[in-house]
Amino acid sequence: MHTKTAVVTGGAGFLGSHLCDRLLADGMNVVAVDNLLTGSIDNIAHLLGNPSFQFRKADVTDFIYYPGQVDYVFHFASPASPIDYLKFPIQTLKVGSLGTHKALGFAKSKGARFLLASTSEVYGDPAIHPQVEEYWGNVNPIGPRGVYDEAKRFAEAMTMAYHRHHGVETRIVRIFNTFGERMRIDDGRAIPAFVSQAISGEDLTVFGDGSQTRSVCYVSDLIDGIVRLMHSDYSLPMNIGNPDEITMLQLAREVKELTGTTNEIVFMPLPTDDPKVRRPDITKAQQILGWNPTVDRRLGMLRTIEYFRATMSVPTSVRLVS
């Protein structure tokens, strides 16, 4: 029986490494490709002795090479947090454009099925709520967040062009806020910032008045939805995320409760173009994939807090971008 092979770009990142775990558990051979700009070998160190796993350090904007048969290409390479794509704006644009082009060309040459990791940021600061896949978005193309938002919108357009013009089997997942083990302490997203601030004795920093909302999904649920989408027959974009919406102020208070910290919550000005609301409509995922998130947020938070307690050796000052 043929063992399927999957190539995961961005395989040493937060989501990419969890995806590698899942694909290996499903009995596949996995090739992770990453230039380690924002990913880390630490995320895949436990896999390096696995005979079914290979790691290749490479920049997908240059080329993607693998000599053997490939059945699936999961394109996850990209800076994915505000601090990262504000620090690496050109690289973010390049991996969304050139990197996606290279990954799609690679999938086409191998006759492989391709899945693009897109994002809820394609909706921008949405004028409709919750967000359905048919919504075209409200994005500022020249704002500081535009380098990420427009890179992913271009990547979706490129993916659909390869699907329609070249007949490549493609899937597009729009990923909503996700959390769990292996998030970087300093990546600027709300949960690692709140948790690391609480653990290290700092005040928790909330931007704006804290009324802006996010819907956070535990990583194992997200990965399950992505794998189901890859194995489905659905080629249009699909939201995967947890529709359980929470304000940033509520989230900060929850972290205070779960960590037992007595630190204060302090408020800072809201960043430019920060979305006011974010909540996925997951009707398509429910109906087409039979998928629903199953991990309670508080349980996922406790696991994440335990991970950060184990990995934080010294207090870290973190700037939050929600």
> Measuring CA to CA, which residue among 211, 270, 274, 220 is closest to residue 245?
211
Q: What is the phi/psi pair of residue 50, to 5°?
A: -80, 120
Whether residue 121 contacts residue 148, with contact meaning beta carbons closer than 8 Å, is answered with yes
d(C-alpha 205, C-alpha 269), whole Å: 10
Identify whether 148 is a catalytic site residue.
yes
d(C-alpha 241, C-alpha 190), whole Å: 16
d(C-alpha 93, C-alpha 285), whole Å: 28
- DSSP states of 21-40 as a string? HHHHHTT-EEEEEE--SS--
d(C-alpha 3, C-alpha 110), whole Å: 15
Whether residue 82 contacts residue 149, with contact meaning beta carbons closer than 8 Å, is answered with no
Whether residue 64 contacts residue 89, with contact meaning beta carbons closer than 8 Å, is answered with no
Q: If DSSP codes are grouped into helix, strand and coil, which group holds residue 294?
A: coil
Element (H, E) at 151: helix 146-166
The one catalytic residue among 72, 123, 148, 162: 148
d(C-alpha 172, C-alpha 316), whole Å: 35
Whether residue 98 contacts residue 61, with contact meaning beta carbons closer than 8 Å, is answered with yes
> Measuring CA to CA, which residue among 142, 135, 64, 129 is closest to residue 103?
64
> Measuring CA to CA, which residue among 233, 240, 218, 244 is closest to residue 173?
240
Whether residue 263 contacts residue 255, with contact meaning beta carbons closer than 8 Å, is answered with no
d(C-alpha 32, C-alpha 286), whole Å: 29
The residues assigned a catalytic role are 148
